[in-house]
Amino acid sequence: MTAPATAATTGTAEAPAPAPKALYVYGIAPAGIHSPRSPGVDGAPVRLLSDSGLCAAVSDAPPRLRPRRRDLLAHQAVLDELAAQGPVLPMRFAVLSPRPDTLLSQLRSDAAHLTGQLDGVRGCVEFSVKGTVVPGHFADLVRRDDKLRGLALRTRRRPDYEANVRLGEAIALGVRREARRAAREVLDHLAPLAVRTVGGTTDDEQVLSASFLLRSADEARFREAVAERARACGDRLALSVTGPLPCYSFVDARPTTPAGR
């Protein structure tokens, strides 16, 4: 019987197996959930990879990954479907894993950590509250502040460019001071309603930036509290609230690597 031809007998090399594609990772959830029906980034179908009681929602990574609006919305839609089924550890946009086996290995090695993270956000949502300075209440501020009132009177009696600049700077500083005080009042009222609170980046205009981890049942009460504080400090601080959101600010999901690293 003649042996079948092989690469060794024919002198030709076998074609190498195609390398596994990189994966775009949306989030991690407990195993047993349904695959999201929403298309993922670049229109790719989303599937689940499961191991150690966990699953990762993934799709094939596109050749080029850019923060286009349609892809940002697709990322969010997938997370929304996951969150509707239970706790999820959301990934930021553009998180990749190089290979399926790498991701599964990371799920196994980090299983205890990830399970603990999921337990920590079970039944919870995230809300973001930001506050910006309201510049138009300086007349009332001047009336209440003896130093500002004196400076305004002196400037009115002997007006010149430098005096006007000094008065403007002093008023701007006072307005920001009042806005920061209002921001502290807002935090004092809202923080007790949350499971956890983390602060964000602020500057001279946006003096309040905070994320709140809330029990889903407390969402209405939290919105009412924000509205009440907006009425109370609206002359000093303009409040905005965003949510419910995936719990980005309250999880540390470490099994994947941001794209480009």
Q: Specify the range with the lowest mean pLDDT, choosing from 77-91, 133-147, 183-197, 208-222.
A: 133-147
Task: Round to whole Å and give the CA distance between 238 and 218.
Answer: 23
Flag whether pLDDT at 184 surpasses 90: yes
Q: What is the mean pLDDT of residues 202-225?
A: 95
Say if CB 14 and CB 20 are below 8 A apart. Answer: no
Instruction: Calculate what percentage of the chain has a pLDDT beyond 90.
Output: 64
Flag whether pLDDT at 16 surpasses 60: no
Residue 139's pLDDT is 53
Higher pLDDT, 9 or 230: 230
Residue 177's pLDDT is 82
Flag whether pLDDT at 261 surpasses 50: no
Instruction: Calculate what percentage of the chain has a pLDDT beyond 70.
Output: 75
Residue 108's pLDDT is 94
Edge-to-edge strand ranges of the sheet holding 196-199? 196-199, 206-215, 124-133, 237-245
Phi-psi group of 163: left, alpha or beta (phi > 0 → left; psi -120 to 50 → alpha; rest → beta):
alpha
Question: What is the DSSP-derived secondary structure letter of residue 238?
Answer: E
Place of tokens 């009425």: 231
The contacts of residue 142 (CB under 8 Å, 6+ apart) are 148, 149, 152, 171
In this structure, what is the dihedral angle of CA atoms 245, 249, 250, 252, given to the nearest 10 degrees? Answer: 120
**Amino acid (one-letter) located at 60:** D
Higher pLDDT, 147 or 63: 63
Residue 256's pLDDT is 45
The sign of the dihedral angle between the CA atoms of 50, 71, 37, 125 is: positive
Per-residue pLDDT band at 159 (split at 50, 70, 90): low
Higher pLDDT, 259 or 97: 97
Q: What is the mean pLDDT of residues 26-48?
A: 95
Per-residue pLDDT band at 223 (split at 50, 70, 90): very high
Residue 11's pLDDT is 47
Flag whether pLDDT at 259 surpasses 80: no
Say if CB 122 and CB 252 are below 8 A apart. Answer: no
- pTM, 2 dp: 0.76
Task: Round to whole Å and give the CA distance between 49 and 10.
Answer: 40
Give the end-to-end CA distance of the chain in Å, rounded to a whole number: 55
Say if CB 175 and CB 137 are below 8 A apart. Answer: yes
Q: Across all residues in the chain, what is the average pLDDT?
A: 83
Flag whether pLDDT at 208 surpasses 90: yes
Higher pLDDT, 6 or 111: 111
Higher pLDDT, 153 or 117: 117
Strands 237-245 and 124-133, by their bridges, are: antiparallel
Residue 21's pLDDT is 78
Residue 247's pLDDT is 93
Say if CB 229 and CB 73 are below 8 A apart. Answer: no
